[in-house]
Amino acid sequence: MTSRWRKNADALARLVRNHEGPLTRELVRKPGRFGLGQVPSRLAPDAVAHAVCGYCSTGCGLKLHLRDGEACNVTPDPDYPVNRGMACPKGWEVLSPLDADDRATHPMVRDADGHLVRTSWPEAMRRFVDGVRSVQQAHGDAAFAFLGTGQMPTEELAFFGALSKFGLGMVHGDGNTRQCMATAVQAYKESFGFDAPPYSYQDFEESDVLVLVGSNLCIAHPILWERVCRNPHDPDIIVIDPRRTETAEAATQHVPLRPKSDLTLFYGLAQALIERGCVDRDFVAAHTAGFDAFADFVSAFDEARVVAESGIDAPAFRRLVETIAQGERVSFWWTMGVNQSHEGVRVAQALIDLALMTGNIGRPGTGANSVTGQCNAMGSRLFSNTTNLLGGRDFTCDSDRADVARILDIPVDRIPDERSLAYDEILEGVREGRIRGLWIVATNSAHSWIDQNDFRSLREKLDFLVVQDMYASTETAEMADLVLPAAGWGEKEGTFINSERRIGRIRKVRRAPGEALADFQIFRLVANAAGLDDLFERWKTPEDVFDLMRALSRDRPCDLSGIEDYRMLEASGGMQWPVPESATRDGARPEQERRLFADGGFFHTDGRARFVFEAPRPVAEPTDDAYPFVLLTGRGSSAQWHTETRTGKSATLRKLAPSESQLEIHPDDAIACGIEPGGLVAVASRRDRLVVRARVTTVVPRGAVFLAMHDARTNRLTYASFDPYSHQPSYKHAAVRIESVTDAG
Ligand SMILES: Nc1nc2c(c(=O)[nH]1)N[C@H]1C(S)=C(S)[C@@H](COP(=O)(O)OP(=O)(O)OC[C@H]3O[C@@H](n4cnc5c(=O)[nH]c(N)nc54)[C@H](O)[C@@H]3O)O[C@H]1N2
Ligand SMILES: Nc1nc2c(c(=O)[nH]1)N[C@H]1C(S)=C(S)[C@@H](COP(=O)(O)OP(=O)(O)OC[C@H]3O[C@@H](n4cnc5c(=O)[nH]c(N)nc54)[C@H](O)[C@@H]3O)O[C@H]1N2
Ligand code: SF4
Ligand SMILES: [Mo]
């Protein structure tokens, strides 16, 4: 091990010397083993390292330019198959947030006076283990739960989930992917038999009709939009969104449907396509089940009903039908406008139904394609060990548990035989006193969860709250009893899985500040402090865990077993699952861009995809005379990321983002409410009221207003309702009232 970067490690060694124990002895003797104060010696000091970006699920390849062994600059990788030399502002600025002043640099514990004060790692670990054990002893093992993320490497997610459940005896754990992808997961599982987004980004370039539903690609996935712009077929681009977003503006057709009327629209679309004879009968007969019942069901959705319920006029609806009917390679793409809905699973499945019935799947430029959100949402779906058992398995299935026990070489009774509660159910457990402790890692729940006033009221019901984050200043860290300082992207090793199922590598090219440790190393410390070294004997490095993931995925739809090591990944420009061993035998390599279902075979045991459908349901909080507007929320700009703990620390990104949050409101509504452009306006729901500047614009339709989620106040207004199948929060519908306020008010 190189000793060049020992300064921090020596400081730590001094700090922990007084707390001799098995854990601290190793930290003191071999701090490098925990990655402390070091960047990998394998990289030449002035080399260029390659890594995928740490923000969105596009997964752009970046070149990290090193000086004296540490990254000092970033450029997009021209050879990476995803972005081909492009990056959005967040990618260019990915290093800046690492240098922020408010990084968590040492563990902190809440003292008797209620202040968070600095402590040592050994003491932090003691507190951690005591805190977990005392809750579990008093209230049972299941009384401690965890909330994770789609923003850590898969190796860390797998370790976190395995440690919590198989090691510490927790039963319930979920993550921020519940807020994001749960709907797509559920939809794919029911329709295809496995959670498998079928596409490759090449499909953006090969379609002749692209249908983007509830997806503001220009803002949220700018480089995917660039891929659309490279499409040489002069495609029709249809954006289905109540707002005239940047993406809608750039499209060839904007379908401004009424919020939450998607299901009626898509069933009506299916009915119109059936009437026109657009069904691919051969495909439907050979590869699907349930079409006749579906056709029968949608016959009630005629044009008049679509027009009445969605607010789209008849000519616009006919043009939509016509465009799709004439398309030879039609692709359907959806994001949060679909997933974050009270009936999102059925809406996603309506898009899958449309693709299946028209035979638009498995061929170039087609598909029913969920665009993921966070850099590793896909990794968390497969390996976070939360609601699915590792590798997309089922906790309640005896043979699945036996497989995992055998592969990991652990006793099978270490694996819970019940399904984990979802995020919302875990919080209900807190409310009812069944869950008394939470370990929150890499998600800022106290900003991002729906209905914040309610969320915050639950804090006092927790006996012990641990928050593990890069920053000590997040809304959630400030509520914690114990804060564990984590290294971030760029300060650790591992892999992410992007939207098109591509596994890409991230690299350690920076020292983490102070005593912050990679989450992986924190999990090792926890395992050690809890006396679980034997159980996690094989989990020493991220690459060890990658090997376990290969074994866990063998012969499953998400097979990674053919990826021999990280080097193979890097040399191939990332690899899309599945990569079975046969695909890389004797030096062979799979094609660089691949889609699923080319052979029409789906993952249900009979090989057939299912048509799934259900009658539309009313929203949970409809508008009325007192609260006449629909509040929509979402991404504000390409320079802002979620709760802004990272992007808010880049001066460049701050300049690219609005200087304060603004309420988008239609000019007619502004006039009716007496609101001036740029004036202050109060937005009130039944839960709270906040004052913001008005942005008077036709981006939003009459009757709806929009607030970006980046403002911590936005979720004080949202209404906590959920899709019943996916438990995903419906962030994009709450009833609000608008009032003008004077500048003094
Ligand atoms: N710059 C930036 N990029 C990001 C992120 C970020 O925070 N900042 N976050 C990442 C993550 S985790 C995610 S999940 C993605 C999200 O990416 P997107 O889903 O594209 O972003 P949103 O703005 O949340 O929502 C998309 C659109 O849904 C529309 N919508 C609202 N209600 C409805 C409806 O009822 N029907 C339809 N059809 N549309 C509706 C909204 O008007 C909005 O324009 O972005 C990723 N990329
Ligand atoms: N109103 C409204 N609310 C929404 C949405 C919406 O559209 N509208 N969208 C929802 C969606 S799709 C999402 S994905 C969520 C996102 O919600 P969050 O997950 O809460 O958002 P982030 O700001 O990305 O939080 C990630 C946290 O992890 C920390 N972090 C980053 N990297 C690391 C790491 O490597 N290790 C550790 N330990 N910490 C790290 C960051 O500092 C930050 O505090 O928000 C949801 N909330
Ligand atoms: S599009 Fe996404 S992955 Fe690409 S540079 Fe921007 S944030 Fe990073
Ligand atoms: Mo998300």
Gap between the Cα atoms of 566 and 506, Å rounded: 10
Please tell me the number of the ligand nearest to residue 225's CA: 3
| Residue to mutate, 50, 60, 83, 646, ligand 3, most ligand atoms under 8 Å from C-beta | 60
Helix locations, 358-433, DSSP H: 377-383, 398-408, 423-431
- Work out which ligand 1 atom sits closest to the CA atom of 374: 12
Report CA-CA distances (Å) from 489 to 492, 518, 552, 574.
6, 9, 25, 17
- Calculate how far, in angstroms, residue 638's C-alpha sits from the geometric centre of ligand 3: 9
- Work out which ligand 3 atom sits closest to the CA atom of 89: 6
Count CB-CB contacts under 10 A for residue 189: 19
Residue 481: predicted pLDDT: 98
- Calculate how far, in angstroms, residue 220's C-alpha sits from the geometric centre of ligand 1: 7
Gap between the Cα atoms of 390 and 124, Å rounded: 28
What mean pLDDT comes out for the span 280-298? 98
**Ligand 3 pocket check for 512: Cβ under 6 Å:** no
**Ligand 1 pocket check for 714: Cβ under 6 Å:** no
Residue of minimum CA distance from atom 10 in ligand 1: 373
Gap between the Cα atoms of 561 and 563, Å rounded: 6
- Work out which ligand 3 atom sits closest to the CA atom of 59: 3
Please tell me the number of the ligand nearest to residue 443's CA: 2
Burial (CB count <10 Å: 0-12, 13-18, 19+), residue 308: exposed
Local structure of residue 685 (DSSP, 8 states): -
Gap between the Cα atoms of 335 and 664, Å rounded: 21
DSSP-assigned beta bridge partners for residue 467: 440, 483
- Calculate how far, in angstroms, residue 445's C-alpha sits from the geometric centre of ligand 2: 7
Residue 5: predicted pLDDT: 32
- Buried residues in 666-691 as b, exposed as e (16+ CB within 10 A): beebbeebebeeeebbbbbbebbebe
Gap between the Cα atoms of 504 and 57, Å rounded: 11
Residue of minimum CA distance from atom 6 in ligand 3: 88
Please tell me the number of the ligand nearest to residue 350's CA: 1
Q: How confident is the model at residue 45 (pLDDT cuts 50, 70, 90)?
A: confident
Residue 43: predicted pLDDT: 74
Report CA-CA distances (Å) from 300 to 259, 296, 305.
21, 8, 8
- Asked if residue 298 lies in contact with residue 274, where contact means CB atoms within 8 angstroms, the answer is yes
**Ligand 3 pocket check for 58: Cβ under 6 Å:** yes
Please tell me the number of the ligand nearest to residue 341's CA: 1
pLDDT tens by residue, 187-209: 999 999 999 999 999 999 999 99
Residue 652: predicted pLDDT: 97
| Residue to mutate, 217, 260, 335, 447, ligand 1, most ligand atoms under 8 Å from C-beta | 335
pLDDT tens by residue, 71-121: 999 999 999 999 999 999 999 999 999 999 999 999 999 999 999 999 999
- Asked if residue 485 lies in contact with residue 103, where contact means CB atoms within 8 angstroms, the answer is yes
**Ligand 2 pocket check for 711: Cβ under 6 Å:** no
Residue of minimum CA distance from atom 2 in ligand 3: 56
- Calculate how far, in angstroms, residue 179's C-alpha sits from the geometric centre of ligand 4: 6
- Asked if residue 482 lies in contact with residue 125, where contact means CB atoms within 8 angstroms, the answer is no
- Work out which ligand 3 atom sits closest to the CA atom of 62: 5
pLDDT tens by residue, 412-461: 999 999 999 999 999 999 999 999 999 999 999 999 999 999 999 999 99
Mean pLDDT, rounded, of the chain: 95
pLDDT tens by residue, 462-509: 999 999 999 999 999 999 999 999 999 999 999 999 999 999 999 999
Q: How confident is the model at residue 41 (pLDDT cuts 50, 70, 90)?
A: low
pLDDT tens by residue, 205-247: 999 999 999 999 999 999 999 999 999 999 999 999 999 999 9
Residue 36: predicted pLDDT: 75
pTM of the model: 0.96
